[in-house]
Structure 1
Amino acid sequence: MSLDERCRAYSRVMPDGMFFSHSTAAALYGLPLPPTDHEMLHVGAARPRRAPRAAGIVGHRVSLDEGRIVGLRGLPVPAPVEVLLELAGMLGHDDLVRAGDALVRRTDPLSSLEELRAAIAQGHGRPGIRTLRTAAEWMRPRTDSPMETTLRLALVRAGLPEPNINHVIDIGDGRSAHLDLAYPSHRLAIEYDGDHHRTNDRQYHLDGDRLWRIEKRGWRIVRLNRSHMARAGEEAVRRVRDALASMGRNTPL
């Protein structure tokens, strides 16, 4: 059974006032998570209720206004910002940045960066709140994928300037292109190609036309994929650094 199916099955016997929480709620929202075993369902109960106890259930007793419980495809879950606060006690810094970026993504965002930071500032005493506050400083809106976030973090940690995210340029004929990451002052675009760019024939041909139009506008493109992200993105950083250097940008070695 899928996670969604198992949640629906449990929801039929779930006591009143309970809701799916933590990594279970995050997965239902489609947030990126590190590889994990979703066999156990995380279920929360707002105080003074007791945490649920049942086979296959990880119960949590939390301080949460019931007005912050919402319906997601008919399943009770905390509001997106509350889920991020719950994840603070489970995830490390970079995973929290990826989750936060996903909440404020370019398409169909679930929150805003201002709302996230306001909630985090109020999260006194929450497990992992210090890590989350540090992670919040690295969160950015308008991303399209967790790998874009991972790449951005690798570039900045390597001492390169922080690139623009989903920078929009005109590519002619009334069309525009969103560049995954970009250094507009040097007309350098960084494109991360997920597997679908390779395996989907239509996407492959669309990419070819789009990239040709971008280059025709005088932009240089650094194309990266998963193989370049090993060892903290070492090869990706090298390629971007070399491209900037060849275009007259002095960057730290």
Structure 2
Amino acid sequence: MPRLAKVPRELAFLPFVGSRAVARGLITKRMLSGQTWHRLLPDVYVHADGYQPDDHRMWCDAVALTLPPGAAICARSAAFLWGVNLLDRQTPVAVVLPSTYRPRGHQRVAVSYQRLTGDDITRFANLPVTTPTRTAFDLGRILPRTDAVVAVDALLARRVVRLDTLAGYLAAHPPCPGIRQLRQVLAIAEPLSGSPMETRLRLVLVDGGLPPPVAQHGVHDSRGRLVGRVDLAYPGWRIAIEYEGDHHRERAQFRRDVARLNDLRACGWLVLRFTADDVLRHPDRIIALVRQAIAERERPA
């Protein structure tokens, strides 16, 4: 039975630069070509037990080892590090580089070139990353409008950035591509949004010409007791609009939902519930149902 190679502690978990490990005598060049190590990027490796092809954090750790001074992880990848997951499967690591640096391309790295100030870059777990404010600033400009609102809402809800701070950063920043969209995004951003799908549902209503709903509205009964908070609300009409995710299908959650729905109805509230299929594929149906509900509530009894 062959003996397993002893793995140095420094190389057991995180990606590392192969040539540096060899220079330090931690491993030999020949050992790097064996099955114990997985090559992620040119001269960047990870122990085979730590290789997870869809682990974005692993790829961030690996890419950071290749970045020159003044570069940083940015955009969706920075948001991920700040606790907001906007990633698809196998999304490449987004990095911003100085304009004078031209690395070899790689499918797991998405490169952009911008001039960042020292205040735009910080460190997260020893990784160079754009600050939450700069991350929100970039995502609000470069993503498609709906995705941009989702991203900014999520960062605001995470409380890693404040709306007034972001607005101040925008006001002080020189003109650059996407500024007009970012202003529109900030005008409709909602720090109380409970999830990306709630943001998308809110945008369906607003873009459909309906009044902006109130997010996370608390409903109280006649004694002032809090019955519950609804995702979106038109308090004047006592209309609640809820997004129903998959977790609502669980038995315990379903029972709580039924009790809460009955309490809301007892308080005179009409509750409209919508799914991802409604939001993504049938927005016109949502708009029509909400308009009908408003018309019924405005009709004299």
Q: Please give the range of the TM-score, normalised by the shorter of the 2 chains.
A: 0.7 to 0.9
Q: 1:235 maps to what in 2? A: 285
Task: Answer 1 or 2: higher relative contact order, Cα 8 Å, separation at least 6.
Answer: 1
Q: 1:225 maps to what in 2? A: 275
Aligned-partner Cα distance in 2 for 1:110–1:230: 28
Q: Which structure would you say has the larger Rg?
A: 2
Residues 139-218 of structure 1 mapped to structure 2, 5 A cutoff: 139-170=189-220, 175-198=226-249, 200-218=250-268
Q: 2:60 maps to what in 1? A: 7
SS at match of 1:247: helix
CA 1:51 to 1:204, structure 2 compared with 1: closer, same or farther past 3 Å? farther
Equivalent pair of 1:44/1:52 in contact (CA under 8 Å): no
The answer to whether the aligner puts 1:29 opposite 2:82 as a matched pair is yes
Aligned-partner Cα distance in 2 for 1:10–1:229: 36
Give 1:202 deviation, angstroms: 2.8
Provide the alpha-carbon RMSD of the alignment: 2.8
Query: Over residues 174-219 of structure 1, what are the superposed CA-to-partner deviations in whole Å (9 max), with x where a residue is unaligned?
Result: 6552211111111111111111212x33322222222222222221
Q: 1:248 maps to what in 2? A: 298
Give 1:23 deviation, angstroms: 2.8
Q: 2:128 maps to what in 1? A: 76
Return 5+ residue gaps in structure 2 as ranges.
1-52
Equivalent pair of 1:32/1:99 in contact (CA under 8 Å): no
Q: 1:19 maps to what in 2? A: 72
Q: 1:103 maps to what in 2? A: 155
SS at match of 1:60: strand
Q: 1:66 maps to what in 2? A: 118
Equivalent pair of 2:140/2:151 in contact (CA under 8 Å): no
CA 1:128 to 1:37, structure 2 compared with 1: closer, same or farther past 3 Å? farther
TM-score (norm 1): 0.83
Q: Name whichever of 138-147 and 201-210 sits farther off.
A: 201-210
Aligned-partner Cα distance in 1 for 2:146–2:102: 29
Aligned-partner Cα distance in 1 for 2:196–2:268: 28
Find 1:50's aligned residue among 101, 114, 123: 101
CA 1:6 to 1:238, structure 2 compared with 1: closer, same or farther past 3 Å? same
How many equivalent residue pairs?
245
Q: 1:136 maps to what in 2? A: 186
Aligned-partner Cα distance in 1 for 2:275–2:231: 12
Return 5+ residue gaps in structure 1 as ranges.
none
